[in-house]
Structure 1
């Protein structure tokens, strides 16, 4: 039988957690300043895409993000006269794509855009359609950038493979384009075009690596199987050159195929990264992290078509149980304490606090997915399953954040 003191502790924990997640009180100006500072701690990786018009840059963005929105181009926002950036997801991005105007266009001088993009990018991705033999404009820009940044790695993506397939030929399986020389299973015209582009850049200045990936990113109705041919090789190249675990952050577990769950996962990771950045700041995260988590839960409710009000929050916390409530509050308070300890608080304590903030946010989001999905389908929510999900995802969230946190607060 539950003791009166246990009941009081549970009631107190539940009420504090309910207020923290449903009614966070934080000065908006302070929160905005904190979010800006947090982003400097946990910057969003920027993939700079350059190439000629119709080279396939938008198809690459669709494939990497898993976004099927035909109007993805409308999500781009101008950042210079001729360059645009695309944040994904828009509200709390996990990744940012930087797109320059099509190289080689008449009356377009890319110099200003190049200087801006150089200051923003974490990875340069050049995109070339294999059937287009005139890539001089792309080659010139790559030479210019590598002369100024010889230490920069470059990823070059060759696209539109099927345009050089003979007759009714389909994709070659298994994917063979990492071999040198290319095997004879690759159609001869395609093999020559791919090799001609690669040979033209053998003398590219610089000491850092150049990686080539050949892909064919089509729509399902185009009839090529699979539509995202070479995508796994593209991911492997990105992870090798930019080891931040982006594929896991954008795609989640391989077994997740539900569109709601995929979209929710990407939002959860974005909010978890913001919370991790806030978690490293002194004192302010006590309220700011709660505000970010409250916004996450509200966003997930909207995604699943559910209301997020006192009644829903009461049900969610009641199913979550005292363990989640007390553990959450203990982590929140201990984060604020460890960071004020001289030296330790600014190094090891900051890392622990950031990891704790991000992992807690991630676990709350994953538990909320289960909760909202069951409610959406008119099914009962199993409290034991909800608690198990939270506990498992707490560890997984810390694992996802590990690469981003490494070296950030030293």
Structure 2
């Protein structure tokens, strides 16, 4: 009896591995053809140029539309204009910081020249301000013309405004040279009696006893004060 060499005997595994090549190839060709047909069909139904144009229109707003939107919002925005009247280092920036919560560095950079004797700071932005602060510059300087400052402030207040307005007189508690400030306040109150006027007395800590480290509960209970 003659035995067939092992090399001439084909195993089932080898037969199985030799046959599926054409089957796999035809199966992949079918998937590719189906995907290609689906892609072409979608392109005919939904042209890519039209889709891109539509999406672009959804997310693109021209400058004219933006200006119209901002103008509409400004008309309905409850903006309050606060005119800060006081000498330098009287605590006006601290008042702005307390009302807005922003740092002193940002406030210092935010004020921009408005008129010859005033600076303007819009919070949170110039486009949509909720608060507009106007600060008097150089008030108390002996070289300043008080009448000119008053005329400038009155002219600024004469401009039409739909928002609320308030005058904030800022005085350091230990500053008794307030004649100029009083003259300005009286003139503005006489011309605009309907605009509220607040007196902010600042820098109270400067008259606390030397051993006081932190601000005490207000009003402070010191015998010397």
Judging changes above 3 Å, is the alpha-carbon distance between structure 1 residues 69 and 130 closer, same or farther for their aligned structure 2 residues?
closer
How much does 1:50 deviate? 0.8
Corresponding residue of 1:75? 110
- Give the one of 168, 184, 191 matched to 1:141: 184
- Give the one of 31, 38, 61 matched to 2:66: 31
Whether the 8 Å contact between 1:56 and 1:127 is mirrored in structure 2 is: yes
How much does 1:149 deviate? 1.8
How much does 1:132 deviate? 0.8
How much does 1:40 deviate? 2.5
Q: Which protein is richer in strand relative to its size?
A: 2
Judging changes above 3 Å, is the alpha-carbon distance between structure 1 residues 144 and 161 closer, same or farther for their aligned structure 2 residues?
same
Would you say how many aligned residue pairs link Structure 1 and Structure 2?
163
Q: Deviations over 1:164-193 (max 9, x none)?
A: 1122135332x228xxxxxxx24544xxxx
Whether the 8 Å contact between 1:98 and 1:117 is mirrored in structure 2 is: no
Corresponding residue of 2:175? 132
1:99 and 2:135 equivalent?
yes
Whether the 8 Å contact between 2:140 and 2:180 is mirrored in structure 1 is: yes
Corresponding residue of 1:115? 154
Judging changes above 3 Å, is the alpha-carbon distance between structure 1 residues 186 and 147 closer, same or farther for their aligned structure 2 residues?
farther
Whether the 8 Å contact between 1:45 and 1:95 is mirrored in structure 2 is: yes
1:62 and 2:109 equivalent?
no
Corresponding residue of 2:14? none
1:199-210 residue pairs with structure 2 within 5 A? none
Whether the 8 Å contact between 1:126 and 1:156 is mirrored in structure 2 is: yes
How much does 1:31 deviate? 2.6
Aligned to 1:67, the other structure's residue is in SS state coil
Write the distance in 2 (CA, Å) between the matches of 1:53 and 1:123.
19
Corresponding residue of 2:202? 159
Write the distance in 2 (CA, Å) between the matches of 1:172 and 1:69.
23
Write the distance in 2 (CA, Å) between the matches of 1:28 and 1:70.
32
Write the distance in 2 (CA, Å) between the matches of 1:129 and 1:187.
20
Write the distance in 2 (CA, Å) between the matches of 1:56 and 1:187.
25
Write the distance in 2 (CA, Å) between the matches of 1:51 and 1:152.
17
Q: Which consecutive unaligned segments of at least 5 residues does structure 2 have?
A: 1-50
Q: TM-score, normalised on structure 2?
A: 0.63
Q: Deviations over 1:264-303 (max 9, x none)?
A: xxxxxxxxxxxxxxxxxxxxxxxxxxxxxxxxxxxxxxxx
Corresponding residue of 2:80? 45
Q: Which protein is richer in helix relative to its size?
A: 1
Judging changes above 3 Å, is the alpha-carbon distance between structure 1 residues 81 and 188 closer, same or farther for their aligned structure 2 residues?
same
Q: TM-score, normalised on structure 1?
A: 0.36
Q: Which consecutive unaligned segments of at least 5 residues does structure 1 have?
A: 1-14, 178-184, 190-410
1:9-408 residue pairs with structure 2 within 5 A? 23-90=58-125, 92-109=128-145, 110-119=149-158, 122-169=165-212, 170-173=214-217, 175-176=218-219, 185-189=221-225
Give the root-mean-square deviation of aligned CA atoms: 2.7
How much does 1:23 deviate? 4.9
Whether the 8 Å contact between 1:125 and 1:156 is mirrored in structure 2 is: yes
